[in-house]
Each structure stands twice: as structure tokens, then as C-alpha cells.
Amino acid sequence: MSNVAFIGLGNMGSGMCANLAKAGHSVKAFDLSPQAIEQAINSGATGAESIADCVAQAEYVITMLPAGKHVHSVYFDQDGITSHALKSAVLIDCSTIAVSEARDIATQAAALGYAVVDAPVSGGVAAANAGTLTFMVGGSDSAFAQIEGLLGNMGQNIFHAGISGNGQAAKTANNMLLGISMIATSEAFNLAEKLGLSAEKFFEISSKASGQCWSMTSYCPAPGPVPTSPANNDYTAGFAVAMMLKDLKLAQDAGQSVDAATPLGQQATEIYQDLDNAGLTGKDFSVVMQQIKGEL
């Protein structure tokens, strides 16, 4: 069992931290929010008073923070990780950030003597709590070999995507596809309904035909066919519009940086920006169904 530092105990980090403690690791937890630290203590971790205190003995330092600027500051500020962690520690950033930011952070940390991997996740809060996340890892073969078992305590599928930043590259392309497919699925259900099919009948047919996709079969944006989907719970997130918009913007920036055409990704970004502007920021991203139906 290992000494693990965990920084960022929000919606995702709290469940991940709890699963590491449950697996028997000695976990020291830090967040800006004292309540989040309290919750981590209740789930088996030890609370830390500062980043320095959190990382001092750690073999692994995991961060799960909102965005790239937070990761940069937690890594490199005067009182940050790289001022206090053991040089032998492996630094694992699970936040969703830009590919370029992940690569910059890895280079900067390597210059200070640290091995860093980007390890963003897919699966959302339910999977974080259940320990069934999918991890997409960018970093060296040796770093991946060191952390694979640890990530296995928080997830079900652990992929080595390649060099630093490749984990974020896989995540950004995947989530762009998800944003587009959610809009496409909503358009298809709306069209079918206007042409006279119930949501249940269209689901029965299309889920066994070539239009089948995750947005339909696991997370159907039309109320009815998939009882666990947010559509049946007033589009309560789930995965919020704000999160999808953030990920689509990351994909747009990444696409521009390598001259990859993403016209549908661009349109999806505009559609989610409209939802955000309309005040639906905190609703589940499948609420796009209501906009397409003209119900908003």
C-alpha cells in the first residue's frame, strides 16, 4: 500500500479519494474547502493543512482540479507541489485541461526532477464514486507502469494513450464526439416524434439500427426510454452544460493548434454556449433536447 496525496476534493475528487482509502492506501487530502477535507476524513483519509503538509511523504500526488490555471498554480506556486514533494514522487493530474497545458506542465515539472502524467477521466460523478472511471494516461512507459495499479483502485479501464498530453488528447476528442452525438441524438428524437413516432418506439428501433450510440442507449435525452437518464429527472446534472462547454472549447483550441477541421465541434460549441447564455449552465448537457424541441 502507498502514501498518496490527493488535492482537489470536489464532485469527482471526493469519491476517488474515498476509493483509494477504501483500497487501503494511506491518503492525505487537501482542498481549499474545509468541508471537503472534513468529508475526506470521514471517508478514511487524513486531512492536510496545506499542500506542503499534504505532499511531504507522498509517493504519488494526485490532483483533481477545475482547470489548467488551478493545476499550474498548485504545481508551481511558491507553496506548491514541486516545492515540497519528494523528487521520487509520481505526479498524476486527473483534471481535464488543455493538451498544450498538460505538455507544458510535464516539461516544467520534469525540469525540476519530477515524473508527471496526465490522466483525465471519463465516467462522471457516479463512476468516480463507484470506482469505475475510465482513465486516459499520457506519460512515459515507466511512469504508466508505476501508476496503473493505483488508478485501478479508482477505475475500471486504464489506457496508456502515449506521451505526455496524449491522455488529454484522447479526452478532448472523445468529449467533442459526445457533445456532437448528444445534439444529433436530440435532433433525431425530435424529428421522429414530429413524424409520428413515440420516443419509446424510435428508441426500440434506432437502438438496434445504425444510429445507435452511447448518448442514446445510456443517456437518452428524450424522457422515457432510459429510466436512469437525466431527462427523467428534470435534466438535473449529471454532466453539466458548463462542463461540456469547457470541454468543447478545449477541443476547438486543440483543433486550431494542429489545423484539424472540426466544423461540427464548432457548431456544438455554439449550441452549448447558447444554453450557457440562457442560464442553463448547471443543467445536464442532455437538456439540449429541450432547446431543439423549442421548449426553452
Give the residues lining the site for ligand NAD (CB under 6 A): 7-13, 30-33, 36, 64-66, 70, 73-74, 95-96, 121, 124-125, 239, 243
The answer for residues whose C-beta is within 8 angstroms of residue 6's C-beta and 6 or more apart is 13, 16, 17, 20, 27, 28, 29, 30, 40, 45, 54, 62, 64
Q: Say which amino acid occupies 173.
A: A
Closest alpha carbon to 23 in 204, 152, 144, 117: 152
Catalytic residue among 171, 194, 201, 246: 171
Residue written as grid cell 479501464: 157
**Between 147 and 188, CB nearer to ligand NAD:** 147
**Between 73 and 142, CB nearer to ligand NAD:** 73
* All three cell numbers of 142: 515507466
- Is 208 one of the annotated active-site residues of the chain? no
CB distance 64 to 7 below 8 Å: yes
In the complex, residue closest to ligand NAD by CB = 10
**Between 6 and 202, CB nearer to ligand NAD:** 6
**Between 31 and 118, CB nearer to ligand NAD:** 31
State in angstroms the smallest separation of the CB of 65 from ligand NAD.
5
State in angstroms the smallest separation of the CB of 153 from ligand NAD.
17
Q: How many residues does the chain have?
A: 296
Residue 90, helix vs strand vs coil:
strand
State in angstroms the smallest separation of the CB of 63 from ligand NAD.
8
Catalytic positions, written as ranges: 171
